[in-house]
């Protein structure tokens, strides 16, 4: 399962509705990719259940998805901590990227 390729079929998957008003914009993308990089698992993000899949650790690719509000974000991950990674990313989106209480500190 190395190299970020997780199309093999044994991936952990999860999905969550993006409620953020302007979609997956700069600050949410920074938070999402930073969190993804804390896991060893390869993690991918798709804006539909069938992909196309992009590397959830790359802010360039996450921003390029230009996901608007109301998109269902799909995650799939493979590797040792894949379960935790998907759960953590889904929870981050559910918490609306912790932006309700204004800014978070820089990590």
Task: Pick one of 58, 81, 83, 88: the residue that binds other proteins (CB under 8 A).
Answer: 58
Specify the residue, 26 or 49, whose C-beta has the smaller distance to other proteins: 26
Specify the residue, 55 or 81, whose C-beta has the smaller distance to other proteins: 55
Q: Is 47 in the site for other proteins (CB under 8 A)?
A: no
Is 25 annotated as catalytic? yes
95 HSE (CA, 13 A, CB side): 15
Interface region with other proteins, contact rule CB under 8 A, candidates 1-9, 27-35, 45-53, 80-88? 27-35
Task: Pick one of 1, 63, 87, 88: the residue that binds other proteins (CB under 8 A).
Answer: 63
Contact between 97 and 32 (Cβ < 8 Å): yes
Catalytic residues: 25
């Amino acid at each position: 399962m190395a190299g970020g390729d997780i199309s093999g079929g044994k991936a952990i998957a999860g999905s969550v509705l993006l409620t953020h008003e302007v979609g997956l914009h700069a600050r949410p993308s920074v938070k999402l990719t930073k969190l993804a990089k804390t896991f060893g698992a390869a993690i991918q993000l798709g804006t539909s259940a069938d992909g196309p899949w992009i590397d959830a650790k790359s802010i360039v690719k996450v921003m390029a998805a230009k996901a608007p509000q109301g998109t269902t974000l799909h995650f799939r991950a493979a590797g040792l901590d894949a379960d935790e990674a998907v759960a953590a990313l889904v929870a981050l989106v559910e918490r609306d990227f912790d932006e309700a209480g204004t800014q978070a500190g820089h990590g």
